[in-house]
Amino acid sequence: MDTADLRALHRLMVVARRLDEEAIAMQRQGALPGYAPAKGQEAAQVGSAAALDLSRDFAFPGYRDLGAAVAMGVDLVGYMASHHNVWHGGLYDAKASRLAPFNAVVAGPVTHAVGWALGAKLDDTGGAAITYFGDGASSEGDVHEAMNFAGVYRLPVVFFCQNNGWAISVPTREQVAGGSVAARAAGYGIEGHRVDGNDVLAVFEATRAALDRARDGGGPTVIEAMTYRMGPHSTSDDPGRYRTLAEEQEWSERDPLAVAARQLSAEDVAAAEEHAAAVVREVREGLLALEARPVEELFSFTYREPTKALLEQQRVWEESLDA
């Protein structure tokens, strides 16, 4: 997206929201083993990912960044296959999609983004990396190591923190000393900005500015998008045990979809819903049609050049099938 186009951003957010709701429904129907709902964080995810240049940038998501996958045009059945327990990392082509396979180690990929950004700088492609992490992950040592490393080498990377108020059951005030992840940037000598994470245009503009700065040799930026996880941490979590309905109510009035919709016509909103419904139908059908991968694939991807021992284990396994 070259310029902030609210209608297009809203359309993407609605797809993310409706797909998110569908995933929760499928989990309750027993069709999806588990899921980490992203409801409430669509503006942060869509606004930032839409600012990327997919011809040269690369994104490193966490496990609650469906909106980024939607905005980047990733094959959503392939993306959801990870939640569907078909393949850790999904069935889409991570390299071609410019979206790394997500994994459950929070903050692990933050250092990968720094390495990727270093690679881009060495190759002089003008590419930048964005890494998604939460307020909880910001406590991990890897985030410090990554920001310090990127600051030392002035690398083209955007540290995009979605501060959604809760790291499972622990609120930000008990998680982030000093109260702000963006404020930490100053200590690394890099730019740090807080942005309203429920305002998709504000997020887009802040991310676009950070990416432009990165490409121009201005180094890394920390963006702290203040948002809220409207749903549970995962489909097996019970937020009622740690937060109040009043707080949830307060944030629901700032629902990023509603914020955007207020600036659009009723026709635009209706068209977005219609489009999202079609996407959800397609993804649902695709997911239900997904079959378990052939068991041989257990052996296919561990190594580029498998060890003899592994090939032997595969041979014995195949023999056991015939027995």
Partner 1 sequence: MPELSLQQALNLALQHACEDDDRVLVFGQDVGTLGGVFRVTDGLREKFGERRVFDTPLAESAIMGTAVGLAMHGWRPVPEIQFDGFSYPAVDQIVNQVARMHFRSRGALPMPITLRLPSFGGIRAPEHHGESLEALFAHVPGLKVVSPSTPSEGYHLLRQAIADPDPVIFMEPKSRYWHRESFDPTEPVPAVPPGTSRVAREGEHATLIAWGAMVSRCLQVAELAAEDGVELEVVDLRWLKPIDVDGLAASVAKTRRAVVVHEAPLTAGLGAEVSALVTERCFADLRAPVQRVTGFDVPYPSGALEDEYLPSVDRILLAIQTTLEYRRG
Q: What length does the chain have? A: 323
Between 174 and 305, CB nearer to partner 1: 305
Nearest-angstrom CA–CA distance, 6 and 222: 24
Nearest-angstrom CA–CA distance, 312 and 82: 28
115 near partner 1, judged by CB under 8 A: yes
**Which residue from 4, 53, 108, 290 is in contact with partner 1, where contact means CB under 8 A?**
108
96 near partner 1, judged by CB under 8 A: yes
**Which residue from 303, 315, 317, 318 is in contact with partner 1, where contact means CB under 8 A?**
303
DSSP 8-state assignment for residue 240: G
126 near partner 1, judged by CB under 8 A: no
Q: Report strand pairing: 191-196 vs 157-163.
A: unpaired
Nearest-angstrom CA–CA distance, 267 and 264: 8
Count interface residues toward partner 1 (CB under 8 A): 47
309 near partner 1, judged by CB under 8 A: yes
Q: Are 151 and 143 in contact (CB under 8 A)?
A: no
**Which residue from 41, 45, 111, 221 is in contact with partner 1, where contact means CB under 8 A?**
111
**Which residue from 101, 126, 218, 286 is in contact with partner 1, where contact means CB under 8 A?**
101
CB of 147 to partner 1, least distance (A): 9
DSSP 8-state assignment for residue 56: T
119 near partner 1, judged by CB under 8 A: yes
**Which residue from 267, 304, 322, 323 is in contact with partner 1, where contact means CB under 8 A?**
304
Catalytic residues: 229, 233, 242
By CB under 8 A, the residues from 48 to 67 that bind partner 1 are: 58
* Burial class for 4, CB neighbours closer than 10 Å (0-12, 13-18, 19+): middle
**Which residue from 22, 42, 57, 142 is in contact with partner 1, where contact means CB under 8 A?**
142
CB of 68 to partner 1, least distance (A): 17
Could you tell me the sign of the dihedral formed by the alpha carbons of 245, 247, 250, 254, in that order?
Answer: negative
Query: Which parts of the chain are beta strand (E)?
Result: 58-60, 129-134, 157-163, 166-167, 170-171, 191-196, 221-226
152 near partner 1, judged by CB under 8 A: yes
Nearest-angstrom CA–CA distance, 87 and 54: 24
Q: Which stretch binds partner 1 (CB under 8 A): 25-33, 36-44, 225-233, 306-314?
A: 306-314
**Which residue from 38, 146, 190, 223 is in contact with partner 1, where contact means CB under 8 A?**
146
Residue type, 120: A
Q: Are 58 and 246 in contact (CB under 8 A)?
A: no
- Note the residues at the interface with partner 1 (CB under 8 A): 58, 87-89, 91, 93-96, 100-101, 103, 105, 108-120, 122-123, 129, 141-142, 145-146, 148-149, 152, 297, 300-305, 307-310
